[in-house]
Every structure is written in C-alpha cells, then in structure tokens.
Amino acid sequence: MSSGASAVTIERDLAYATVDGAELCLDIYRPAEPGAPVVVYVHGGGWTRGDKGADGDKRLAPLAAHGVTVVSIDYRLAPRAVFPQQLHDLKGAVRWLRTHGTRLGLATERLGVWGASAGAYLGSLLALSEGDSALEGEVGGNVEQSSAVQAVVHWFGQADLEASASRSELEARILPFRFEADLLGTTDPAELAERARGLSLLSRVSPQAPPFLIAHGDRDRIVPPSEGLSLHNALGRAGARCRFELLAGAGHEDAEFDSPAMLASTAAWLRAMLG
C-alpha cells in the first residue's frame, strides 16, 4: 500500500446477514477524514468466485485514501446460489448499512455502489431496480430501510446478459466462459436467453436512474467495451447523468484501472456525486 493508503483504517468481517446458517460479511475501509461519503464495493469473478478482500490492497485501500469510505461485501456465489440471490444479498447489505450507519459513524443517507466486471453488473442492477419486489428480497431484514443508491461506478461489466450469453459455436470455443449459465441456473440456450432477457440493464434505465460513471478498456476480450458504451447511450437517451471513460490499451481487469490517476479521479467523482 502507498503511504496514503496505509493511513486507512480497516474493519473486517462485520456480519450483515445470516443465510442458511452462514454469515455474510463486509469490510470497511475508512479514510482519515470524518464524515466521508460511502461507496459499497461489489467484487468480480464471473459470479462464481472472488471475495470481499481480494482487491483490498491494490484498489480499495488506495481509493479510500482519497477520502471515500469503501464497504466491500461478500455475496453468495453461483452455481450454488442462483440469481436473484446475489442481488438480494447486495440489497440486504445496503439496508444494513443504513440501519447501523449512525452507530458505525458512517454517512449512509446517500450511498454509492462500485462494481468490477460481474460485480459491476450486480451493482448497476441494484441501482436500477428500486421498488422491484422480485429483486428486493429480505436478506438481513431491515426491510423498512431503502436499498436505493445515489451514484454508480461501473467498471468493465456486462450490460445485456442475453447478448453476452449468446455466443456462436466458434466464439464459445475461443472464449468458453458461460458465467451467465451459472448465474441463471440453466445451460439450455433457449431457457438461458429467456431468463436473461428481462435482466438487461438497458431495459431498466429511466430518467430517475442515479448518475453513472462507466469505465472500460478498449482491448477487453472478456466483456467488450460495446457493453459499457451501450449502457452509457441508454442512460443518456433516458435523460440520466452518465460519464463514459474508454481506457486505451487496457484489457479486462487491467492494472490501469488501479493506477493512482484512475483511483483518484474515481474517488473525486464519488465525492462530487455523494457530497
């Protein structure tokens, strides 16, 4: 960690819910400044792997050093957990933070969500599904609290699950990842397309969407940059606020996203949106 990041205080393994006898936990990365804005971080890993601590040293603590409290959460993973359980977990974490914000000394009236790859899709769907009873769930209780967020950072994530799941035979051989099948619990192409159709972020944008900051690498071969651009264009047409950054020469989960300049600009945007 840089000297700035070393000033960040980390609180680990706070349980926000218990599901099927197992605790779901979160970590809090606190900057030195009191009253800093809060962003919930959703890790990537194709919905099948990863955890809340994986990006701590290279990404979360350095961003927190720029004056944003980062709350990194664990959520249930596919294929054992089938959608929408992952989204129920995210919403449960947001409600838990709002319930316990005062006790924790966190400014949780306005919250951001920040996701990478598969986490970017989940975080964006969280932001675009306020009031959707099927996606809200009751994980962790606190159902009197809102799960809405007021800013979204979307890094190299999917926007249209149906399009990203629909690979030709050749594409499937070159890029054999079928993360969407694990997430949605089916390998049948027709059933997969049907389930994915209603989960496109593009169909959920509205003028009421919170501001988005979308960043993608122009050499991403896992999730093409056209996904991020499509989301940006859909939000713009709906009248929502959106900024799109295309990183030259960057691939999927590229180190460029964790560069000091990128983390500083992302933190500045979050402070502006949530301040």
* Chain segment 138-197, per-residue pLDDT in tens: 999 999 999 999 999 999 999 987 766 666 667 666 665 566 766 766 666 677 677 777
Which residues are identified as catalytic? 117, 220, 252
pLDDT (0 to 100) of residue 2: 46
Q: Mind listing the pLDDT tens digit for each residue in 56-102?
A: 999 999 999 999 999 999 999 988 888 899 999 999 999 999 999 99
pLDDT (0 to 100) of residue 132: 87
Q: Mind listing the pLDDT tens digit for each residue in 197-250?
A: 778 899 899 999 999 999 999 999 888 999 999 999 999 999 999 999 999 999
Separation between Cα atoms, residue 156 and residue 116, nearest integer Å: 6
User: What does the buried/exposed string (b/e) look like for 165-180 if buried means 16 or more CB atoms within 10 Å of the residue's CB?
Assistant: bebeeeeeeeeeeebb
Q: What is the pTM of this model?
A: 0.91
Q: Is residue 43's pLDDT more than 70?
A: yes
For residue 42, the cross-strand partners are 73, 115
Q: Which residue is listed with tokens 């859909």?
A: 234
